[in-house]
Amino acid sequence: MLSSSLTSQIEELASAQEESILERYDERTAKLRAQMNAERANIQDEMQRLSALNEDYRQLSSAPLGLDKDTLIGGVSFVVGLTYVSAAINGLLQLGTPGAGSSLPTVALNALLGAVGVGYYFYRKPSK
């Protein structure tokens, strides 16, 4: 009788201990799960921000800045070409007036150099 009484007390004590341990385990896992969910949400927010920043960076880095070698050389050739074209037009107008100091070879040379300058601009112009 004493042994059965001790056995039942030990079983009750073990059962109570087991329940207490399981309750503490459930509480700790619930807290850990809540922390993990909060961290997961934080990481997802950071990933969205980083993705948006990466997309902005890609757009900015792919956009032309406007002052590269081809643009600069093309712009200068365009201005020089227009200068020669305007000189050719002035020479043509001077050919029509008597006593002006312009000749047909000068007008032709100015027109050719103007066409080359403007043509080079369109050749160097980046295609979009």
49 in the same domain as 101:
no
Burial of 21 (0-12, 13-18, 19+ CB in 10 A): exposed
Quote the CA–CA distance of 69 and 124 in Å, as a whole number: 10
56 in the same domain as 16:
yes
Answer with the one of 32, 63, 94 that is the final residue of a domain: 63
85 in the same domain as 59:
no
Answer with the one of 14, 33, 63 that is the final residue of a domain: 63
Nearest residue to 65 via CA among 4, 7, 2, 126: 126
Q: H or E stretch including 100?
A: none
Give the tens place of pLDDT for each residue, 17-31: 999 999 999 999 999
Q: Identify the residue whose tokens are 């956009």.
A: 63
Quote the CA–CA distance of 112 and 44 in Å, as a whole number: 64
56 in the same domain as 80:
no
Residue 70 CB contacts under 8 Å (≥ 6 apart), including other chains: 124, 125, 126
Question: How many structural domains compose the chain?
Answer: 2
Quote the CA–CA distance of 27 and 19 in Å, as a whole number: 12
Q: Report pTM.
A: 0.42
49 in the same domain as 95:
no
Domain region containing 112: 69-124
52 in the same domain as 77:
no
58 in the same domain as 97:
no
Residue of 91 and 24 predicted with greater confidence? 24
Q: Provide the pLDDT confidence category of residue 51 given band limits of 50, 70 and 90.
A: very high
pLDDT of res. 9: 85
